[in-house]
Amino acid sequence: MWIECVPNFSEGRDVAVLERLVRAVEAVPRTVLLDQGMDADHNRAVVTFAGTRAAVVESAFQACAEALRSIDMASHLGVHPRIGAMDVCPFVPLEGASHGDCRAAAWELGERIAAELAIPVHYYGGATRTGAARSLPALRRDVRAGCAPDAGPPVAHPRAGAVAIGVRDPLIAFNVELDGPEVEAAKTIAARIREANGGLPGLRALGFLLASKGIAQVSTNVCDVERTSLRDVFDAVLVGAQELGVGVRGSELVGLAPRAALSIETAEHVRLADFDPERDWIEARLERAGS
């Protein structure tokens, strides 16, 4: 059984913190590190790993404990929305695993974080406890409005904030960079193309300024790769940029993508810099892990 876990942490500038988070993950037997990365403007790190249910729960818990020690949300600054040090922790079913397996992992992790680390826990997606599945954007809005957590203390931890734990299908974090700092154009394009506003199915999108690069970015999560391809996203951004008189520089993959969603031809079409199938395809990482 392979369950993937993709926690996002509110630290994208201190490499030493990412190294400690990765060590916490890799210290657990039967956990395989698949990818890691950080971004200074978003002030965010993403660590991807896979393993058995017990292994990924233990790795995620140890990473959350390290985030509590290493990240102080009271002084955190960054353009990406966030609610905590380990901001979001989704479980994804891969080979031999089901959504039910991932749901059990999510709830086990949530109860441990609440009980042992005293951090409020909110569930989303396939881990939602009652009623319809709550999306991550809806969860963030609920937390800002002061909703009670699903587990743990009723108020945010003074250092670690809160954590969102979910179950989802594979998604692709895919960003398109404009060739200038026109952040209002990026926000306008993002609003046009996101599903919530009648845009592309299963697409979430936001516009950000990347101060370190002097450019704006349309940051997206492609949540339904069957209905919306990376080409669809790139072309929609390109059309929007052309209408607003803005150029498009290229695109960026955050983490990994399924082979079927990111062919070599697609990588060329979307101007994905430094594409490497052995590094960027999740199947390639899993094949190496199993060999």
pLDDT per residue over 196-233, tens digit each?
999 999 999 999 999 999 999 999 999 999 999 999 99
User: Which domain CATH number covers 87?
Assistant: 3.30.990.10
The reported pLDDT for the residue numbered 7 is: 98
Say if residue 214 is in the same domain as residue 149: no
Domain of residue 184 covers 172-290
| Overall pTM surpassing 0.85 (yes/no) | yes
Residue % of the chain over a pLDDT of 90: 94
Q: Say if CB 252 and CB 274 are below 8 A apart.
A: no
Say if residue 42 is in the same domain as residue 151: yes
Phi-psi region of 116 (alpha: psi -120 to 50; beta: other; left: phi over 0): alpha
| Residues 6 or more apart in contact with residue 152 via CB below 8 angstroms | 110, 113, 114, 115, 118, 119, 120, 121, 162
CA 30/CA 34 separation, integer angstroms: 13
Say if residue 22 is in the same domain as residue 128: yes
What is the average pLDDT value for the chain, to the nearest integer? 96
Say if residue 20 is in the same domain as residue 143: yes
The reported pLDDT for the residue numbered 291 is: 55
Q: How far is CA 236 from CA 128, 150, 225, in A?
A: 32, 37, 15
Query: Catalytic: 80?
Result: yes
Q: Which of 135, 136, 236 is nearest to 186 (CA)?
A: 236
Say if residue 178 is in the same domain as residue 193: yes
Q: What is the pLDDT of residues 16-72, one digit of tens each?
A: 999 999 999 999 999 999 999 999 999 999 999 999 999 999 999 999 999 999 999
Q: Which of 91, 81, 75 is nearest to 44 (CA)?
A: 81
Structural domains counted in the chain: 2
List phi, psi (to 5°) of 263: -75, 170
Q: How far is CA 29 from CA 32, 207, 250, in A?
A: 8, 39, 39
Residue tagged active-site, from 80, 99, 157, 269:
80
C-alpha of 196 from chain center? 18
Q: How are strands ordered across the β-sheet holding 203-210?
A: 203-210, 215-222, 172-178, 248-254
